Chain A
């Protein structure tokens, strides 16, 4: 039994994008217990969505919940509002939503991977991944008009159409991206130095993941086949466009990296299928109805299952909006997976969780 030290990490730290506070209790550099504090970014968006903004404006406000997965938030809200006013989005709008969600997934996963590389001390790989990631930002700008904060999904459909030349550009850039992705997989899989940092670090077992209710790539790396795209077919037709589950077994940082990289291949396949089979229809279903009743929507954001609940009372304002973000489900497992690791690998483990605190605390 050695002497125990408490080491704080955060709220301002070079390895963190957002204010997040961990208090590690360490013994000979081994972390024996962790305390997490994630609510620095609480802004009160849910309350403002019910008092300040009309229900058609809310899809732009909830996009500002998170800059990384803003399309997931605005799409999930649009779907729940469509349920409340009893309309269904046109098929072309559904396909375009899936296209932007998958492009967003590419940029989010690559950002997470580059962040893991940087926090593990591999600066060159950070630069390489960020360089390869820029294509997805350019494509998102070409499709939606902005690099982040797309404002693409609105209640009833989507705001912009996909032009034929943009679709051609996406296919062409995907062709150049594919060998780059192979190169990244090769580095993340076979680099000996990186594997020393990644293999076995931050591991969580399948049973613990199931007990702690983990979602997203965190759960799939531990062997749990949890993906909303596999479970729901009514709102977005994921299986039509070639979705496939990706899982790993070990549940450590290495497995999470590999799950993210292999999901990128699925995303590329989905994007290609969507562009090849984009149906012709209107973009928006118009209605003058006001939201009424209750509805629930689940959607697979880049970090896992995103849950929206809304309640309307036949006025312009919603009565209640509840957002449950994927990171909120993962916080308990994040705290547990630190146990037994060295303090020096904590930043890389945090990055591999891909935490999104602005989603969690809203």
Chain B
């Protein structure tokens, strides 16, 4: 299975609006249209978090949509990349400080690429998603390094994080380029 190749050549996108003004969402829709045609990079807008690789989030996180945002993020399989679209998804933008808004999605989920602008132009969104592809490739490589465990790692609180353990062993034993 050439899963890594397929993942790089055809990443699937999940789009979630966390309470924005629709501006960036219609620009994402314009990206799917013929003029900007994001499908030439193999990207398809998928509605299912369990089949998606890239999460495109727009909007400042409103208090009602934040549980859905975290839930959607948690349902996506590893490796996954989060792209925040627009000024209000990055920092809260003009909505920062309003009583029902949080300032930006990075307070709740880790963000890999920030796309600026109010609203983000389709060129910017495509650029951000292409950057996300490189990050996706790097994350895939990190996951697929084979590691031999010398002894059973025991953490203090009983939680074993496979990726942290692997990183520790790689760091001490051999360097992975």
Contacts and interface: CB of A to CB of B under 8 A. Distances in A.
A148 B29 CA distance: 13
Given A12-B68, A47-B98, A358 B20 contact: yes
B26 A11 contact: no
Contacts of A14: 45-48
Given A64-B118, A134-B33, A134-B35, 18 more contacts: A12-B68, A14-B45, A19-B16, A19-B18, A19-B19, A19-B64, A39-B64, A41-B17, A42-B62, A43-B60, A52-B98, A67-B26, A68-B23, A68-B26, A147-B121, A149-B21, A149-B118, A358-B19
B47 A13 contact: yes
B46 A64 contact: no
A104 B97 CA distance: 29
A43 B62 contact: yes
Contact of A65 (B21, B34, B48): B21
A179 interface: no
B104 interface: no
Interface residues of A, number: 42
Interface in A145-183: 146-149
Contact of B17 (A17, A42, A134): A17
Give the dominant DSSP class at A's interface: loop
Contacts of B32: 130
Interface in B39-54: 45-49
A44 B100 contact: yes
A137 B101 CA distance: 29
A67 B119 contact: yes
A149 B34 contact: no
A149 B24 CA distance: 10
A6 B64 CA distance: 22
Contact of A45 (B22, B45, B98, B119): B98
A61 B119 CA distance: 13
Contacts of B20: 41, 67, 358
Contacts of A47: 98-99
Contacts of A41: 17, 19-20, 59, 62, 65
A265 to B, nearest CB: 23
Given A39-B64, A43-B101, A131-B35, A111 B118 contact: no
A44 B23 contact: no
A42 B59 CA distance: 11
Given A66-B22, A67-B24, A111-B26, A44 B99 contact: yes
